[in-house]
Structure 1
């Protein structure tokens, strides 16, 4: 059993979990949630898969279109599962294939977290 805590896919109406890193120190809970996301992206294959989905036409990609990352299909599936568990991807099965997408709120939250706080 995995001890990784899954993050929920963020609703576009919901504020990101955490303020920009330069705004104030994160709470323990915020840091834990954020670390899960960054840990998932800390693997080069996962980062390539996440980028392939995020940049794919229409904002979603069939696993058949993104699996050419230099590892076997079972390994691709494992990495996509880890990205889903971290709340970075959502998926939908359509017939034989699974389609993945990055929710816009996830990218917005990641961008907001890494944004430099405005100078007063």
Structure 2
């Protein structure tokens, strides 16, 4: 059985429109890369500035939302000095896919 607490935490994180949009952007990027036939885990990522631009929100707000997505284990981050790259957590993505695909 899936960890219901982890799933509930993921749903809670995704209940905010900006966090949901950020997660959907990462999913869309992943789908494009998979469709191209050359998906490397490190390619399925977005930077802080890309989220700021797409959502038209400031860095502190994006950072807060990223922290919530990380805490919910929906994404993981990689730091490069002052820059941050966000990656999908494939394990949680699969759990969500299985949850919504369950009959």
**What is the alpha-carbon distance in structure 1 between the residues aligned to residue 17 and residue 58 of structure 2?**
15
1:54–1:60: 8 Å Cα contact kept in structure 2?
Answer: no
Deviation track 1:86-115 (CA, whole Å, cap 9, x = no partner) reads 001100111321001002222111100111
| Structure 2 counterparts to residues 103-114 of structure 1, below 5 A | 103-114=89-100
| Structure 2 counterparts to residues 24-43 of structure 1, below 5 A | 30-43=3-16
**What is the alpha-carbon distance in structure 1 between the residues aligned to residue 94 and residue 5 of structure 2?**
19
SS in 1 for 2:101: coil
TM-score of the two chains, using structure 1 as the length reference: 0.67
| RMSD of aligned Cα (Å) | 1.7
Bigger relative contact order, structure 1 or 2 (CA pairs below 8 A, ≥6 apart): 1
Which residue number corresponds to residue 60 of structure 1? 45
1:53–1:101: 8 Å Cα contact kept in structure 2?
Answer: yes
SS in 2 for 1:80: helix
Structure 2 stretches of 5 or more lacking a match? 34-42
TM-score of the two chains, using structure 2 as the length reference: 0.77
Moved over 3 A (4+): none
Q: How many residues align?
A: 90
Instruction: From the two aligned structures, give the one with the greater helix fraction.
Output: 2
Deviation track 1:24-83 (CA, whole Å, cap 9, x = no partner) reads xxxxxx332211110000000000111222333521111122222132211111001000
SS in 2 for 1:109: helix
